[in-house]
Amino acid sequence: MLTLRHWSTAVFAAMLVLLIVLMTIYPSDAWRAALQGLSIWWDILFPALFPFFVIAELMLGFGVVHFFGTLLDPMMRPLFRVPGIGGFVMAMGFASGYPVGARLTAQLWEQRLVTRDEGERLVAFTTSSDPIFLIGAVSVGFFHDVSLALILAVAHYGSAIVIGLLMRMHGKKLTLESGPATNPTISRASIFRRALQAMHHTRLQDGRSFWLMLQDAVQASLRLVMVIGGLVVFFCVILEIMSITHLMSSLSQWTASVLRMASIPQELSQSIINGIFEVTLGARSSSDAGIHLLLIHKVAVAAFILSWGGLCVHAQIVSLLNRTNLRYWPFVAARGLHSVLALVLVYVLWSPLQPFRNAILQAAPTFGFPVVSTGVGVGTGMEAGQGMGIHLLPLLYSISISMSVVALAAIAAMFAGYTLLRPLRSVFSWWGKAN
């Protein structure tokens, strides 16, 4: 008897055969799409991801991750129901972008530092865009308005934190004491000393020299970034083939009906379809939508696309989680909720953040800088060659590194609020029993 797995295998095989046939019929279009996907990977993804992949590998080898894990454990468990080491994953995920959060989580699972539920929570809210792409490519390169980075960043990263708080309900209902023991009476000096001991112990266990560790980090990072590049090229070709065969029009009509119910211009349906498959193409097409459309709608759709991440990113996540027991469905559910929350936050924050946008525009004009080609525009008829300014890259790298510090500061601020509000919990509990 044929099972569902047999039928799914047959369907996927038929789809691959159909794709090969269509690529044979339209070889020039498929070739152009592959080149444009390769350009996206080389111009945007490789310089944005590779340095952080290497740094993350070195930090794991030197025990820096274990240092932050011990230091942040009293904060992360009450807030997100993950071990303190999740604070490092959160900081690196926000600073480096997808799929760094999933990469680190998979490595922590292999080292038995997180359980399946904790790993699924981590991947769900640490998978986000990086500041280099959000500011340099989307805000500056696509929209030509650096002030939009503020709204996009607050909506994107703010909703990611909300997802992290909501994901506390995912998994088994365990008490805070079920993880590693965390004594609230321990002094800060004692916690810091234990963190140093954990880092030193991890370094001794690793035992590799710095040069061997660097060589392994570069090799592992190159393998991962090559896989990412292959997936980007593959999805760019699929998107182009679907556009040529008019399959995109059917999806666009269904998406337009959904946008009409949400009072969002239907012209942005094509942007959403592109973004469902590949985030770069979707963000670019949202910026190039009709000139008559209000900017707020374009930015809201861009925030939706950035938070969803695209099936290309989803494929990267699945490839990383394939060697673990972490499931895909909590991640995809979180992506859907994250994208909707980010879209809503853009509409909510648009007016309150206008004074800050004006201040940014006065301090940092967005015109008159050189550009590099990003190769975007597969199946959209858009001109390539407008990307982020070369001279902005050092600034964007600094912002990415600063994002790690900001993420850690946000964790500390939320923990402070949690600590201040926690006594009220016992007061309300006593009041309820008294009445």
To 10 degrees, the CA torsion angle through 113, 408, 78, 111? 0
- Indicate the SS3 state at residue 379: coil
Q: Which are the contacts of 125, defined by CB distance < 8 A and separation ≥ 6?
A: 80, 90, 160, 161, 163, 164, 167, 334, 338
Buried/exposed 340-356: b ≥16 CB within 10 Å, e otherwise = ebbbbbbbebbeebeee
Burial grade of 150 (CB within 10 A; 0-12, 13-18, 19 or more): middle
The stretches of 26-166 forming alpha helices (DSSP H) are 27-40, 46-62, 64-80, 85-96, 100-110, 116-126, 131, 148-166
Distance between alpha carbon 178 and the CA centroid of its chain, in Å? 29
Contacts of the segment 418-427: beta carbons below 8 A, 24+ positions apart = 418/78, 418/79
Count helices and strands in the chain by DSSP H and E runs: 19, 0
pLDDT number for residue 57: 80
pLDDT number for residue 370: 38
Is 217:19 a contact under the CB 8 Å cutoff?
no
d(CA 199, CA 14): 51
Closest CA to 329 of 207, 162, 170, 110: 170
pLDDT number for residue 12: 77
Is 306:156 a contact under the CB 8 Å cutoff?
yes
Return the domain boundaries, the chain.
46-171+185-422
pLDDT number for residue 177: 39
Structure tokens at 330: 């909590």
d(CA 41, CA 95): 18
pLDDT number for residue 2: 64
Per-residue pLDDT of the chain (435 residues; tens, 9 = 90+): 667 666 777 877 888 888 888 888 888 888 998 898 888 788 777 877 788 778 878 877 888 777 877 877 888 888 898 988 888 888 888 877 888 889 889 988 988 889 999 999 999 999 998 887 888 778 887 888 888 989 999 999 999 999 999 998 887 765 443 444 444 444 455 777 888 888 888 888 888 888 888 899 899 889 888 888 888 888 888 888 888 887 777 788 888 888 888 888 988 998 898 899 888 888 888 988 888 889 999 999 999 999 999 888 998 899 888 889 999 999 999 999 999 999 999 999 999 999 988 888 777 654 444 343 333 333 333 333 334 444 555 555 565 566 556 655 666 676 666 667 666 655 555 555 555
Instruction: Compute how many other C-beta atoms are within 10 angstroms of the C-beta atom of residue 112.
Output: 7
Angle of helix 116-126 relative to helix 329-349, nearest 10 degrees?
A: 30
Burial grade of 216 (CB within 10 A; 0-12, 13-18, 19 or more): middle
Q: What is the DSSP string of 135-197?
A: IIIIIIIISS-TTHHHHHHHHHHHHHHHHHHHGGGSS----GGGSS---TTS-HHHHHHHHHH
Q: What is the CA radius of gyration of the chain?
A: 23
Is 297:265 a contact under the CB 8 Å cutoff?
yes
Q: What is the DSSP-derived secondary structure letter of residue 268? A: G
pLDDT number for residue 117: 92
Q: What is the DSSP-derived secondary structure letter of residue 211? A: H
pLDDT number for residue 386: 39
pLDDT number for residue 300: 95
pTM of the model: 0.77
Structure tokens at 101: 């959060």
Distance between alpha carbon 295 and the CA centroid of its chain, in Å? 23
